[in-house]
């Protein structure tokens, strides 16, 4: 099985090709950039470069995986549009990977609770609570948009050691430290594991494909979890007008 994976849900743009023969899994190539340019400028050139370097015939792919949200609205639209276009052109199924699940998969094999944090602005994070059992990712709390205080309280209730990762860590690190100081053991993932990676999207996609969790390109749509800012502001304005 060979899977092309895309992630443009956050600050990072990432493309990878992974394969699995039923016994061994292999990351053939991964191209990740976390520097200034918009994903619309980087994602397709990155894909072209990987295809060229690995002599990849896109028709040999078995599926196309995409980090489907939550995340940046623009980034999600770019990733989804790219995946849908490839899926339609190549007649390949898509694998819809929750962004926060894929981020947690970066820490494969840890015995600690995993809590990814993506900065969702407006004093919220996109987050979830995960653990690995028998080499499989288990979702203890599915991805959600909540305040940092709310997710910290959920973690304190579990009473287990936690490792944090994601672009929300530098934003909320001080707040987390204050909330969790009372006896809660916690740590932060190192930089090379703390951002979105298409390799993790692809490896999780292999598990999904085996479970039959695929969709057609026409069926795919991103998971935003929240309304876009313009729609939220319009709803708030309408609510005030009806008071």
Question: CA 62: distance to chain centroid?
Answer: 21
Which of 7-11, 26-30, 122-126, 177-181 is predicted least confidently? 177-181
Bridge partners of residue 7, in order along the sequence: 14
Q: How far apart are CA 130 and CA 117, in angstroms?
A: 12
pLDDT at res. 235 = 47
Domains in the chain: boundaries: 2-99+196-225, 109-193
Handedness of CA 221, 226, 227, 229 (dihedral sign): negative
184-226, pLDDT tens digit by residue?
789 999 999 999 999 999 999 999 999 999 999 999 999 998 7
- For the whole model, what pTM was predicted? 0.90
- Going by pLDDT thresholds of 50, 70 and 90, the confidence category of residue 232 is very low
Determine the topology of domain 2-99+196-225 in CATH.
Nucleotidyltransferase; domain 5 (3.30.420)
Q: Tell me the CATH number of domain 109-193, given options 3.30.420.40, 3.10.110.10, 1.10.10.10, 3.40.50.970.
A: 3.30.420.40
- Going by pLDDT thresholds of 50, 70 and 90, the confidence category of residue 51 is very high
- Going by pLDDT thresholds of 50, 70 and 90, the confidence category of residue 240 is low
Record the tokens describing residue 54, joined without a space: 């690995």
Q: What is the DSSP string of 32-94?
A: EE-SSS-HHHHHHHHHHHHHHHTT--GGG-SEEEEE--SS-HHHHHHHHHHHHHHHHHHT--E
Q: How far apart are CA 172 and CA 149, in angstroms?
A: 10
What is the Cβ-side half-sphere exposure of residue 232, based on CA atoms within 13 angstroms?
A: 8
Place of tokens 């053939």: 28
Closest residue by Cα to residue 166 from 143, 183, 134, 137 = 143
């Amino acid at each position: 099985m060979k899977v092309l994976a895309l992630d443009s849900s956050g600050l990072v743009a990432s493309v990878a090709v992974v394969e699995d023969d039923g016994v061994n899994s292999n990351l053939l190539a991964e191209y990740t950039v976390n520097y200034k340019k918009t994903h619309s400028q980087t994602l397709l050139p990155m894909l072209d470069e990987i295809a060229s370097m690995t002599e990849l015939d896109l028709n040999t792919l078995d599926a196309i995986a995409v980090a489907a949200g939550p995340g940046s609205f623009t980034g999600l639209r770019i990733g989804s549009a790219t995946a849908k276009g490839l899926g339609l052109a190549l007649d390949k199924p898509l694998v819809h990977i929750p962004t926060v699940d894929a981020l947690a998969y970066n820490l494969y094999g840890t015995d600690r609770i995993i809590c990814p944090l993506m900065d969702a602005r407006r004093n919220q994070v996109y987050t979830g609570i995960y653990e690995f059992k028998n080499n499989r990712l288990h979702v203890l709390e599915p991805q959600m948009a909540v305040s940092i205080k709310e997710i910290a309280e959920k973690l304190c209730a579990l009473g287990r050691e936690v490792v944090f990762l994601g672009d929300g860590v530098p934003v909320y690190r001080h707040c987390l430290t204050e909330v969790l100081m009372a006896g809660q053991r916690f740590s932060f993932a190192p930089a090379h594991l703390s951002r979105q990676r298409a390799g993790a999207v692809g490896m999780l996609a292999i598990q999904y494909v085996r479970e039959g969790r695929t969709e057609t390109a026409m069926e795919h749509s991103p998971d935003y979890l929240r309304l876009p800012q313009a729609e939220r502001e319009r709803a708030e304005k309408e609510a005030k007008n009806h008071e």
